[in-house]
Chain A
Amino acid sequence: KAGVTQTPRYLIKTRGQQVTLSCSPISGHRSVSWYQQTPGQGLQFLFEYFSETQRNKGNFPGRFSGRQFSNSRSEMNVSTLELGDSALYLCASSLEQIAYEQYFGPGTRLTVT
């Protein structure tokens, strides 16, 4: 069974631009969570989706948004990029409705210049 895939793997953007990252969960998984990983802040929870509904959101500004499609694929969008948004963005999927055991993708490395 294929793992969690994320596209693109690397991305370079300029301040003020917006970006959309994509995540395809493991087949059959309906819960998708997004995390931001930086050296200074570590792994921080962004949001979690289940059956196209956002169930929880972390402490990030409204510039960070996401959605989930009917096939469980998910996208996250960051508008008006700032230098501090440079990070590894990780997606994780889970089979259960209560997203206990999560499987992570390799991440998208976003660099904002």
Chain B
Amino acid sequence: GESVGLHLPTLSVQEGDNSIINCAYSNSASDYFIWYKQESGKGPQFIIDIRSNMDKRQGQRVTVLLNKTVKHLSLQIAATQPGDSAVYFCAEKETGGFKTIFGAGTRLFVKA
């Protein structure tokens, strides 16, 4: 069935290094992908999105890459900071846009 999954459940990086969080999806019909950040005790927070007609999109310190050939999505965080420590979810939007399917989440630890 349709699924959005993450390769690694946890990721530990040194402060100042770049972080890369990966995600696999299986629904070729999905046309919109989103990355969310969830800190303890809070709801998910929108980070960045990308549509299927794009390969790359950049935000402030974050870049999302989409490889439709292998159905792979990644989130790159530049110069990772302690405040980036959180759980990161990738998500996909089904065609029609009414339902969002979330991946399992990756916990990012930033070591000072």
A binding-site residues for B, Cβ under 8 Å: 4, 33, 35, 42-45, 48, 55-56, 58, 90, 92, 98-107
Contacts and interface: CB of A to CB of B under 8 A. Distances in A.
A62 B106 CA distance: 31
A42 B103 contact: yes
B30 to A, nearest CB: 12
Contact of A42 (B49, B96, B104): B104
A4 to B, nearest CB: 7
Contact of B45 (A35, A44, A99, A104): A104
A4 B97 contact: no
Given A42-B103, A43-B89, A100 B98 contact: no
Contacts of A104: 36, 43-45
Nearest to B36: A104
A100 B102 contact: no
B100 interface: yes
Given A4-B43, A48-B98, 8 more contacts: A35-B102, A44-B102, A45-B100, A90-B43, A90-B44, A99-B97, A99-B98, A102-B34
Nearest to B46: A101
B99 A48 contact: yes
Contact of A43 (B49, B93, B97, B102): B102
